[in-house]
Every structure is written in C-alpha cells, then in structure tokens.
Amino acid sequence: MIVVVVINCFFLGLEGNYFSQAVKENLEITNTFFNVIYILEFFVKIVGLGAVEYFTDFDNYLDLIVTGFSILDFVVLSNKTYKEINDCKKYII
C-alpha cells in the first residue's frame, strides 16, 4: 500500500495551473482512482479485522480521517459552483 501512497503523492505534486485543461482533467481522474483505492482499503480492513479490532489501532483512525476528507473533497469538487470559486482563487493568491 505504501507504493500506492507514493504514486498518489507524485500525482498530487503535479497539480497546478501550469497544465492544459486536458491534463488537469486526467489528474482529476487519477485522484478519483486513488480515492476509490483508499475507500476499498477501508472496507477490506473493516471486513477483515472487524469493527472492534479496526478501531483499536490509531493508524486506522488516521486512515479513516484522511479517507473521509478525500471523500468530502471529491463531493465538494463535483459541485460546479465550488469549482468556479476555486478557479477564482488562483487569481487572488
């Protein structure tokens, strides 16, 4: 799983305003792909370990929080209004 995280970090590092719209769309697709992997990992761990054992390990809490925020980010980014606001931020910063 560490390899998946490293590859995901590479793609996250590529995000920026330096690329064409097609490249940005491909980066969004890879972000969605990695989110699906993390969500699947969460469900496999819950089923494999059981809820009680899953929540006894602090690392699993961290995974759950990060996965939750990635889901939240995905839901918010799918909102067109947020995308327009986010595009405006690049001119402010």
Quick one: pLDDT at residue 25?
A: 81
Residue among 43, 32, 38, 33 nearest 74 (CA): 32
Count of Cβ atoms closer than 10 Å to residue 38 Cβ: 19
Tally the domains of the chain: 1
Quick one: pLDDT at residue 7?
A: 83
pLDDT tens for 5-37 read 788 778 777 776 677 878 878 888 888 888 888
pTM of the model as a whole: 0.69
Count of Cβ atoms closer than 10 Å to residue 15 Cβ: 14
Structure tokens at 43: 């469900």
Quick one: pLDDT at residue 53?
A: 92
Residue pair 41/63 in contact (Cβ under 8 Å)? The answer is: yes
pLDDT tens for 35-89 read 888 889 899 999 999 999 999 988 899 888 988 888 887 777 666 555 555 665 5
